[in-house]
Amino acid sequence: MKNTLSYAQKCDAEDPLAHFRQQFLVPTGTDGKSLIYLCGNSLGLQPRLTQEYLQQELNDWAKHGVEGHTDAENPWLPYHEFLTKNMAAIVGAKPNEVVIMNTLTTNLHLMMVSFYQPTKTKYKIVVESDAFPSDKYAMESQLKFHGFDSKDGLILWKPRKGEELCRFEDLEEIMKEQGDEIALLMIGSTNYYTGQHFPLKKITELGHKHGCKVGFDLAHGAGNIQPNLHETGPDFAVWCSYKYLNSGPGSLGGCFVHERHAKDDTLNRFAGWWGHNKATRFNMRHEFDALEGAEGWQLSNPPILSMAAIRASLDVFAEAGFNNLRNKSEKLTGYLEFLLDELNDDNINIITPRNKEARGCQLSIQLRNANKELHTKLTEAGVISDWREPDVIRVAPAPLYNSFEDVWEFVERLKKVLL
């Protein structure tokens, strides 16, 4: 690797995925020039296909009205099924294990209705200590709903003193000491703050060994790393689609239920009519008859306009190939790591794992003796990244639309604001 613009441009020229950048709309500054957008871990950029796909559904709504459910170019009744194959490939699942529905925290609650079944003695939930707040809120409220003390019932898997990352052996120790009291391991697959990607298969096997259900929040994983959910074997997983999956602000989430639960009618669930047998769904007087697989957890008919935006992005992913994207991601992030190290600045500390297998495309840059003012200066310099209190800038070069030149230019601008 070389710390030169010409080297970065050479990498872009040799990148077989470089042309995908042209399929996205990159924000521009007041000077009309493209910003350095490295915030796909918070909100992905808009694919150019999105407007076309949305317009198609608006046209069909105007043309057909209610008959669009059957007569639209992409009929609305089965619309969610158009997304399933591509979404399943991105998370490494079988199509019947995946469904796009609701939003992330709603799906988390629905999954916990089914897979968090506490008893008087086995009721605790394990989560990483710095999980995204909404996950903690959901788990605390579930504990309270079942009559347990949320402080006693929520076990935090913490980094060791003076460290930023969680160690798997510490989770093993928690399970060894309290496994008989733990009902659920609910872990964020890729931590939002540090960017640490956890060993999902090892966590799943550990949880199941102690008779616990296992779930993952893939908000920062889906479209970033390959969780291989079917092979990994958790009971469930949930994710949003507006970060690495580029579906637009507040768009729908996704849900995985392992196929071993596909026909289990003993599981509790909060049911809705879209989870009912398709053959009799519109015969309104039937008792609830759950669809097999993840579809059986659906509640309401889906919002087509949101799904059209998701379909646009998933079609781009399918064209690029997720394995190709992951390969580029490792190279991009590796180049970013190299350039940051080249700064040789004692005030900069990368808290994300150095091992590429233990991270996605995000690097979390800890800035000693800094505050948000530095991030503000970086924004003024034309860089869109993300500040997290107390002292971390999150930078995520997304392989679908970021370039090696983006990464080089970011570090050059960071260098200037650090002076």
C-alpha–C-alpha distance, residues 325 and 313, integer Å: 14
Domain annotation for the chain: domains and CATH numbers: 5-47+322-418 (3.90.1150.10), 78-318 (3.40.640.10)
DSSP string, 283-347: STTSPP-BPSSGGGG--S---HHHHHHHHHHHHHHHHH-HHHHHHHHHHHHHHHHHHHHHT--TT
Residue 189 in contact with residue 237, Cβ under 8 Å? Answer: yes
Cα dihedral across residues 189, 195, 199, 205: positive or negative: negative
C-alpha–C-alpha distance, residues 161 and 321, integer Å: 40
Give Cα 389 distance to the centre of its chain: 21
Burial (0-12, 13-18, 19+ Cβ within 10 Å), 169: exposed
Residue 136 in contact with residue 108, Cβ under 8 Å? Answer: no
Print pLDDT tens along the chain (419 aa): 999 999 999 999 999 999 999 999 999 998 888 999 999 999 999 999 999 999 999 999 999 999 999 999 999 999 999 999 999 999 999 999 999 999 999 999 999 999 999 999 999 999 999 999 999 999 999 999 999 999 999 999 999 999 999 999 999 999 999 999 999 999 999 999 999 999 999 999 999 999 999 999 999 999 999 999 999 999 999 999 999 999 999 999 999 999 999 999 899 999 999 999 999 999 888 899 999 999 999 999 999 999 999 999 999 999 999 999 999 999 999 999 999 999 999 989 999 999 999 999 999 999 988 888 889 999 999 999 999 989 999 999 999 999 999 999 999 999 999 88
Residue 374 in contact with residue 418, Cβ under 8 Å? Answer: yes
DSSP state of 101: E
Residue 31 vs residues 34, 186, 374: alpha-carbon distances, Å: 9, 45, 22
Give the up-direction half-sphere exposure of residue 405: CA atoms within 13 A in the CB hemisphere: 13
Least Cα distance to 85 among 98, 76, 72 occurs for 98
